[in-house]
Amino acid sequence: EPEVTQTPSHQVTQMGQEVILRCVPISNHLYFYWYRQILGQKVEFLVSFYNNEISEKSEIFDDQFSVERPDGSNFTLKIRSTKLEDSAMYFCASSDQLGDEQFFGPGTRLTVL
Amino acid sequence: AQSVTQLGSHVSVSEGALVLLRCNYSSSVPPYLFWYVQYPNQGLQLLLKYTSAATLVKGINGFEAEFKKSETSFHLTKPSAHMSDAAEYFCAVRANTGNQFYFGTGTSLTVIP
Task: Give tens-digit pLDDT for A15-36.
Answer: 999 999 999 999 989 999 999 9
Distance CA A80, CA B21 (A): 39
Q: What is the distance between the terminal CA atoms of chain A, rounded to a whole angstrom?
A: 37
Judge whether residue A40 has pLDDT over 70: yes
Contact predicate A77/A64, CB 8 Å: no
- The pLDDT score that the predictor gives to residue B1 is 67
Interface test with B, best of A3, A33, A43, A44 (most B CBs within 10 A): A43
Q: Does A102 sit within 8 Å of B90, measured CB to CB?
A: no
| Residues in chain B where the model's pLDDT stays below 50 | none
Distance CA B47, CA B30 (A): 20
- DSSP E strands, chain B: 3-5, 10-14, 19-21, 24-26, 32-38, 44-50, 56-58, 64-68, 73-78, 87-94, 101-103, 107-112
Contact predicate B109/B41, CB 8 Å: no
Q: Does B49 sit within 8 Å of A44, measured CB to CB?
A: no
Residues near B97 by beta carbon (within 8 Å), at least 6 away in sequence: none
- The pLDDT score that the predictor gives to residue B27 is 75
Tens of pLDDT, residues B55-72 = 899 999 999 999 998 999
Band of the pLDDT at A90, cuts 50, 70, 90?
Answer: very high
Contact predicate B96/B2, CB 8 Å: yes
* Highest mean pLDDT, choosing among A2-6, A90-94, B96-100: A90-94
- The pLDDT score that the predictor gives to residue A98 is 72
In chain B, residues with a C-beta closer than 8 Å to the C-beta of A108 are: none
